């Protein structure tokens, strides 16, 4: 069924089977990817996926998607209004509003300015700059494998260090935690397993392949597509689902980052589509506006296909066995080997490419993605949008 549908859609649709982009500041190179006021409503298939994965009714799913879009659109203005008092922001699913944290010393005029954007305001002790500085200090420390990741949590107003539950008493883990606490406000949490990437050996399924590794293709850019860096090094050849040559890795970075881009040729071309795998209709990509923490996000990949969850954290450092990767976004979406490089999308806005995680789609887990706008900026690429 998959290949019949792809033949109807054309080979170009194959190139979109994977990567989703999470963003930082929208790069100039992606100027055609900003959201538009007259963007279409979410497809019926996307609403159905939200109902399934979040246990919502159809009206609840539609209301949430509309509220998330509004939160995403006002977030930049709310941050500018907060200025130096900015402590981070997130989408509150309970109130369907963007919440912006500001420090206690924020002038009343600043608080009014933030509220005037439509955001709710919460007073916190630490600014986002303080938390980000603490994260940067941790990034300079060699972390043992028992430390899974760390990130600034705007809701808790602290830096969260995640430790593998079975390793929390290890001496090297305890030493890292002690140094982390000295670096700034830190909370330690436990996770059931260490993160790993989601590449896989060659097995039956969908493209793409490089060497004996299968990964998932990501978002189309003009001239190719973006994907995960751990899937292939610069110069590596890429084959499609039918074994034919697709293109070549033109740039790749891993660890430190986990992103790459592949040029496309040999009769292949790109389209602004993410595959829905029959669970939802194929999704058009209309931009790459960043989804706030707390908003819903969905992932498409060649192993587990279409799954949805929530953005849990941004700018998290993930400590893989191959080395740390910085500025990742953590989600509650599951993934499995072969999903690497696949798309993360929120509504019609590209968010990032699948990097790795822990768990699976039977028992659950967490997955990180590399934000797409960072990839576009790094390589001077332009997102292919509808």
Phi, psi angles (nearest 5°) of residue 206: -100, 160
CA geometry: angle 318, 341, 298, nearest 5 deg: 85
Task: Please say if 384 is a catalytic residue.
Answer: no
Question: How far apart are alpha carbons 332 and 326 in whole angstroms?
Answer: 18
pLDDT in tens, 46-99: 888 888 889 999 999 999 999 999 999 999 999 999 999 999 999 999 999 999
Give CA–CA dist 237/367, Å, rounded.
Answer: 27
Residue 285 lies inside a defined structural domain of this protein: yes
- 24 or 354: which carries more pLDDT confidence? 354
Task: For the full predicted model, state whether its pTM sits above 0.85.
Answer: no
Residue 258 is among the residues annotated as catalytic for this protein? yes
What span, in angstroms and rounded, lies between the C-alpha atoms of 378 and 160?
Answer: 27
Give the pLDDT score at 207: 66
Domain match, 138 and 198 both: no
109: in domain = no
Rounded Cα distance, 73 and 117, in Å: 10
Number of domains within the chain: 2
Q: Which of 151, 206, 216, 230 is catalytic?
A: 230
CATH number of the domain that residue 149 is part of: 3.30.300.50
Q: Which of 154, 176, 192 is the last residue of a domain?
A: 192
Question: 350 lies in which domain range?
Answer: 1-77+193-386
The catalytically annotated residue of 92, 153, 257, 258 is: 258
Of 192, 211, 232, which residue constitutes the final position of a domain? 192
Measured CA to CA, the distance from residue 296 to residue 275 in angstroms comes to 18
**pLDDT tens digits for 221-251?**
999 999 999 999 999 999 987 788 999 999 9
pLDDT of 237 reads: 96
pLDDT in tens, 146-188: 999 999 999 999 999 999 999 999 999 999 999 999 999 999 9
Residues 2 and 62 grouped into a single domain: yes
Express each pLDDT in 288-333 by its tens digit: 999 999 999 999 999 999 999 999 999 999 999 999 999 999 999 9
Give the CATH number for residue 375.
Answer: 2.40.10.10
Residues 272 and 370 in one domain: yes
Asked if residue 287 and residue 159 are part of one domain, the reply reads no
Of 163, 192, 221, the last residue of a domain is: 192
Query: In terms of domains, do 197 and 318 share one?
Result: yes
The whole-angstrom separation of Cα 120 and Cα 116 is: 9
Residues 139 and 258 in one domain: no
Selected catalytic residue, list 89, 252, 288, 340: 340
CA nearest neighbour of 355 among 382, 333, 386, 384: 333
Count, in order, helices (H) and strands (E) of the chain: 8, 23
Residues 325 and 360 occupy one common structural domain: yes
Query: Catalytic residue at 355?
Result: no
220 falls in which pLDDT band (50, 70, 90)? very high
What's residue 226's pLDDT? 95
352 plus 218 within the same structural domain: yes
């Amino acid at each position: 069924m998959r290949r019949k549908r792809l033949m109807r859609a054309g080979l170009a649709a194959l190139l979109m089977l994977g990567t989703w982009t999470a963003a930082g500041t929208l790069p100039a190179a992606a100027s055609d990817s900003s959201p538009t006021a007259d963007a279409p409503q979410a497809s019926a298939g996307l609403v159905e996926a939200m109902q399934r994965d979040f246990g919502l009714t159809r009206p609840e799913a539609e209301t949430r998607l509309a509220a998330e879009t509004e939160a995403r659109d006002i977030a930049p203005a709310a941050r500018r209004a907060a200025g130096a008092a900015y402590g981070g922001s997130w989408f509150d699913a309970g109130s369907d509003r963007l919440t912006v944290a500001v420090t206690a010393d924020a002038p009343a005029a600043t608080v009014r300015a933030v509220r005037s954007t439509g955001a709710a305001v919460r007073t916190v002790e630490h600014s986002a700059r303080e938390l980000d500085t603490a994260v940067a200090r941790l990034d300079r420390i060699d972390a043992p494998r028992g430390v899974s990741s760390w990130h600034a949590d705007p809701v808790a107003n602290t830096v969260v260090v995640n430790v593998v539950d079975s390793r929390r008493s290890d001496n090297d883990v305890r030493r890292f935690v002690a140094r982390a606490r000295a670096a700034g406000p830190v909370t330690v949490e436990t996770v059931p397993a260490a993160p790993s990437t989601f590449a896989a050996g060659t097995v039956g399924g969908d493209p793409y392949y490089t060497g004996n590794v299968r990964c998932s293709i990501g978002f189309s850019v003009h001239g190719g597509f973006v994907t995960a860096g751990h899937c292939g090094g610069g110069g590596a050849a890429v084959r499609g689902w039918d074994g034919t040559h697709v293109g070549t890795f033109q740039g790749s970075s891993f660890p430190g980052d986990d992103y790459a881009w592949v040029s496309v040729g040999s009769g292949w071309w790109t389209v602004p589509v993410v595959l829905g795998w029959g669970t939802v209709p194929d999704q058009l990509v209309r931009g790459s506006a960043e989804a706030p923490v707390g908003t819903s996000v969905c992932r498409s990949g060649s192993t587990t296909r279409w799954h949805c969850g929530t953005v849990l954290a941004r700018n998290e450092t993930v400590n893989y066995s191959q080395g740390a990767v910085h500025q990742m976004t953590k989600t509650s979406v599951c993934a499995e080997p072969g999903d690497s490089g696949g798309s993360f999308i929120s509504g019609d806005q590209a968010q990032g490419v699948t990097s790795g995680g822990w768990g699976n789609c039977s028992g659950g887990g967490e997955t990180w993605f590399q934000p797409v706008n960072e990839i576009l900026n790094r390589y001077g690429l332009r997102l292919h949008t509808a």
